[in-house]
């Protein structure tokens, strides 16, 4: 079994909670599974942008591979985009805590016609994929959100969380998903953050307290096995 690149403390705590097994969710039903790609937008992926995260572009190939496997297995892919709406009172407490010029820049770049809003070109979006807009760190706020409505309509019960940043929007979305009773898996090499320490500690805490952490290769293998089993049963 592929080992996670996490602090041994988290690995041992997770195994201790699960009777020796590491992963919370060892099987997938593709038709009930969605790949959630959080904020892989120019604002976060493109060098020179205010929230540029260097590792974001590096995880794009893994996200693309997982998306291909998800579509082939019969699951769905949802690309999450953060929007800063034109309402000057939107997210007032966050605006108050931010230097005005920086907030104005965010409002401009993450408007729907802003330079930071588009999904980054490294990401391979297919025509059958879905897009859901979010206004906060979590894609589930306000509830019901575009994402939650979509998932409910499609009968989804399992989410694979990828994107940027691990410790902010990805974690916020993943924790809320867990609280709303989704089987939630954060993809170790499909998330990125500004530092390796933030990335690893976020995933470690999620593994022991909220859901599961698996690698791209692990999940592609599980999707392939599930799709093969389904084909054999037909």
In a domain, 138, yes or no: yes
- 76, 123, 129, 169: the catalytic one is 169
Estimate the crossing angle of helix 196-209 against helix 171-179, to 10 degrees: 0
So what's the pLDDT on residue 233? Answer: 56
In a domain, 2, yes or no: no
In a domain, 71, yes or no: yes
In a domain, 223, yes or no: yes
Handedness of CA 133, 156, 153, 70 (dihedral sign): positive
Q: Using a CB cutoff of 8 Å and minimum separation of 24, what contacts does 175-181 make?
A: 175/138, 175/206, 175/210, 176/138, 176/139, 176/140, 176/141, 177/36, 177/140, 177/211, 178/210, 178/211, 180/140, 180/143, 180/148
So what's the pLDDT on residue 1? Answer: 47
Q: Which among 125, 19, 13 has a CA at the least distance from the CA of 80?
A: 125
134 part of the active site = yes
In a domain, 3, yes or no: no
94: its two tokens:
């966050």
So what's the pLDDT on residue 232? Answer: 60
In a domain, 215, yes or no: yes
In a domain, 1, yes or no: no
169 part of the active site = yes
- 39, 42, 176, 189: the catalytic one is 39
Whichever domain contains 176, its CATH number is: 3.40.50.850
- 76, 129, 134, 189: the catalytic one is 134
In a domain, 156, yes or no: yes
39 part of the active site = yes
Q: What's the whole-model pTM score?
A: 0.96
Q: Which domain holds residue 181?
A: 8-233
Q: Which among 24, 159, 195 has a CA at the least distance from the CA of 80?
A: 159
* Total count of domains within the chain: 1
Residue-wise pLDDT for 174-193, tens only, equals 999 999 999 999 999 999 99
Work out the mean pLDDT of the chain and round it to a whole number.
95
């Amino acid at each position: 079994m592929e080992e996670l690149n996490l602090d041994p403390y988290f690995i041992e705590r997770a195994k201790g909670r699960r009777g020796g097994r590491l992963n919370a969710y060892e099987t997938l039903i593709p038709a009930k599974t969605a790949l959630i790609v959080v904020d892989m937008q120019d604002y976060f992926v493109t060098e020179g942008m205010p929230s540029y995260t260097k590792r974001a572009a590096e995880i794009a190939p893994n996200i693309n591979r997982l998306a291909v496997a998800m579509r082939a297995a019969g699951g769905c892919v949802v690309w999450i985009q953060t929007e800063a709406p034109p309402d000057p009172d939107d997210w007032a407490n966050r605006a108050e805590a931010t230097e005005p010029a920086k907030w104005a820049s965010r409002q401009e770049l993450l408007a729907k016609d802003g330079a930071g809003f588009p999904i980054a070109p490294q990401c391979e979006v297919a025509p059958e994929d879905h897009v859901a807009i979010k206004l906060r760190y979590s894609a589930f706020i306000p509830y019901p959100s575009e994402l939650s409505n979509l998932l409910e309509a499609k009968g989804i019960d399992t989410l694979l969380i990828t994107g940027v940043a691990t410790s902010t929007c990805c974690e916020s979305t993943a924790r809320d998903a867990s609280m709303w009773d989704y089987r939630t898996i954060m993809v170790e090499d499909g998330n990125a953050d500004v530092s390796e320490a933030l990335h690893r500690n976020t995933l470690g805490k999620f593994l022991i307290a909220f859901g599961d952490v698996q690698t791209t290769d692990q999940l592609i293998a599980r999707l392939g096995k599930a799709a093969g089993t389904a084909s054999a049963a037909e």
